Amino acid sequence: MRTPVIAGNWKLFKKQGDAVALVEGLIPLVKDTVGVEIVVAPVFTSLSAVCEKISGTNINLSAQNCYWEEEGAFTGEIAPGMLADAGCSHVIIGHSERRQYFGETDETVNKKIKAALKGGLVAIFCIGETLAQREADSTFDVLRTQVTDGLAGITAAELAKIIIAYEPVWAIGTGKTASDDQAEEAHAFIRGLVTGLYDQGTADAIRILYGGSVKPENVKGLMSRPNIDGALVGGASLKADSFAGIVNFQK
Ligand code: PGA
């Protein structure tokens, strides 16, 4: 059985005071939720404040990005070990906004995943096709390349510390969710890729999240599909009640 993961990606929102207020609102709404891995990903400067508030709760802390070196003359970067030191258990890697605006490639994503694992973090590895790629019928080719190159050199044992997030770029922040069928089709394909690269047991164990305009209203349908193991949530994670509505999809 794969434990579902519901992760909130706060992107470039919420200074410390607002971030703390958000988790303070969230904690009572999810405190009785069992069997769901709950993750929030604030901006770097809010990590410590949020960490303090969620200590002893069932909420886990994630960063939104990291660098691949442990330390050195890399002004402005942050290392996985430093994120772990700040209380993070997870880190999002290769989000489409990072690929689109900050030049991340499958190769740099691969380096970051390896560094995250070495630094003791669970990597939430994001993939997904753009609208142009979907319309050109190249979705599966894009996903194959992203998965193969992103996971290059990573062992089956290490894969236990990786969560894949399938986020069709055209569904992010647009209000256009992939249909349950479209999402399930992509997830089944991704799991098949993992089977080919590793083995059936490894593929059966890995969690594959869907991301792109997930809301309390559409989460149930998505989660009812066999290959969808959770959600990476942007907009709807910025309010305690809507994020809790997604976390509590079983109720
Ligand atoms: P969204 O963002 O839920 O606002 O579409 C998802 C994401 O970018 O992870």
Relative to the CA of 236, which ligand 1 atom is closest?
Answer: 3
Instruction: Please answer whether residues 99 and 83 qualify as being in contact, where contact means their C-beta atoms are separated by less than 8 angstroms.
Output: no
Question: What pLDDT is stored for residue 91 in this prediction?
Answer: 99
Q: Ligand 1 pocket check: which of 65, 214, 246 to mutate, most ligand atoms within 8 Å of Cβ?
A: 214
User: How far, in Å, is the centroid of ligand 1 from the Cα of 72?
Assistant: 32
C-alpha Rg value of the chain to the nearest Å: 17
Amino acid letter for position 179: S
The pTM is what? 0.98
Q: Is 167 a catalytic residue?
A: yes
Pairwise CA distance, residues 77 & 186, whole Å: 33
Residue 176: per-residue pLDDT: 84
At 7, phi and psi to the nearest 5?
-120, 135
95 is catalytic: yes
Q: Residues of 177-200 as b/e, b for ≥16 C-beta within 10 angstroms?
A: bbebeebbbbbebbbebbeebbee
Low pLDDT (below 70) residues in the chain: none
Find the 206 Cα to ligand 1 centroid distance in Å: 21
How far away, in angstroms, is 238 Cα from ligand 1 center? 11
d(CA 65, CA 63): 6
Q: What is the pLDDT of residue 138?
A: 97
The CA 101 to ligand 1 mean position distance, Å, reads 15
Class of residue 130 by CB neighbours under 10 A (exposed 0-12, middle 13-18, buried 19+): middle
Non-local CB neighbours of 185 within 8 Å, separated by 6+ positions: none
Instruction: List residues near ligand 1 (CB under 6 A).
Output: 9, 167, 172-173, 211-214, 232-236
- Catalytic residue (one of 95, 104, 129, 184): 95
Q: What is the pLDDT of residue 167?
A: 97
| CA-closest candidate to residue 35, choices 84, 10, 2, 12 | 2
Mutate to test the pocket of ligand 1, among 98, 163, 213 (most ligand atoms within 8 A of CB): 213
Q: Which residue has the tokens 């753009």?
A: 130
| In 87-208, alpha helices (H) | 96-101, 106-118, 131-135, 139-150, 156-159, 180-197, 200-205
From 169, 232, 246, mutation site for ligand 1 pocket: most ligand atoms within 8 A of C-beta: 232
- Going 149 to 77 to 114 to 166, the CA torsion angle's sign is negative
Q: Tell me: the pLDDT tens digits for 218-245?
A: 999 999 999 999 999 999 999 999 999 9
Q: What is the pLDDT of residue 132?
A: 94
Q: Give 46-55 pLDDT, tens digit per residue.
A: 999 999 999 9
Q: Which atom of ligand 1 is nearest to the CA of 97?
A: 8
Q: Are the C-beta atoms of 127 and 147 separated by less than 8 Å?
A: yes
Closest residue CA from atom 1 of ligand 1: 234
**Residue 83 is encoded by which pair of tokens?**
């994120």
Q: Which pLDDT value is given to residue 106?
A: 98
* Range 156-162 contact pairs with CB under 8 angstroms and sequence separation of 24 or more: 156/198, 156/199, 156/202, 158/117, 159/194, 159/198, 159/202, 159/205, 159/206, 160/205, 160/206, 161/117, 161/121, 161/122, 161/123, 162/113, 162/117, 162/122, 162/123, 162/125, 162/206
Query: Which residue from 171, 48, 50, 63 is spatially nearest to 116, judged by alpha carbons?
Result: 63
Nearest atom in ligand 1 to 165's CA: 9
CB 109 within 8 A of CB 65: no
Task: Give the number of the atom of ligand 1 that is nearest the alpha carbon of residue 212.
Answer: 5
